Amino acid sequence: MDPQESFEELVKTYSTEIYRYAYWLCRDEAVASDLVQETFLRAWRSIAQLREVAAVKAWLITIVRREHARLFERKRLPTEDIDEVPVEDELNLSADAQMDVHLVRAAMAELPEKYREPLVMQVVMGMSCKEIAQSLEISESAVMTQLFRARQKLRELLEPSETIAEGQR
C-alpha cells in the first residue's frame, strides 16, 4: 500500500472520532469540520514523524487540541449550543433514555475544561489514561485525578436533576 492509500485509510478510520472530539472542544459544526480538515492536513505534512502506528489516535487528538488552541490565538469564534445538534445514535433510544443522555451531555458541558476534556477523551473517544496523558501532556496520575474529580462534579450536577425527576414520577 502506498503512502497516500495508507493515509486515506487513516482518514477513513479516524475522521468520525476526530470530528466528535473537535466538536466537543468547540461546540460548532463548521469550526469542528475546519479543525478536522486542518488536523488531517497537518498529519499528512508530518506523517513521516509518526513513530508508532499504535499511537496515531493520540497523535491526531494532540493535533486537534493544538489547532483548537490556535483559534484562540487569532480570535474568539461564536459557538453553537450542543443541544441543537442531532446525534444519530439517539434514534433508537426511548424517550427516557434520550432525556438521560441529554442531561448527562448538558452536565458534561458545564464542567470546567480541565475536567471535561479528559472525561470526553475517555468516554466519547474511548482513550486510555495513558493516551489521554500523552495527548494532554500530563502524567497518568494527573489524568486519573482529573477523571475522578470530573465524575464527582458530574455526579453533583446530576443529583438535583435525579431528585426532581424522582419527585415527578
Q: Is residue 163 part of a domain?
A: yes
Residue 121 has pLDDT above 70, yes or no: yes
Residue 148 has pLDDT above 90, yes or no: yes
What's the DSSP call for residue 163?
A: H
What are the tens digits of pLDDT across the range 135-146? 888 999 999 999
Q: Tell me: do 65 and 98 sit in the same domain.
A: no
* Residue burial 156-168, b: 16+ Cβ < 10 Å; e: rest: ebbeeeeeeeeee
pLDDT-based confidence at residue 86 (cuts at 50, 70, 90) = low
User: Which one of 79, 103, 131 terminates a domain?
Assistant: 79
Q: What is the CATH number of the domain that holds 129?
A: 1.10.10.10
The domain in which residue 118 lies consists of 92-169
Q: Which residue has the higher pLDDT, 54 or 34?
A: 34
Distance CA(110)–CA(87), nearest Å, equals 19
Q: What is the mean pLDDT of residues 12-18?
A: 86
Q: Tell me: do 63 and 128 sit in the same domain.
A: no
Q: What is the mean pLDDT of residues 48-64?
A: 78
Given this model, what pLDDT does residue 15 score?
Answer: 85
Q: Tell me: do 48 and 102 sit in the same domain.
A: no
Given this model, what pLDDT does residue 78 score?
Answer: 65
Q: Is residue 84 part of a domain?
A: no
- % of the chain exceeding 90 in pLDDT: 14
Q: What is the mean pLDDT of residues 105-129?
A: 88
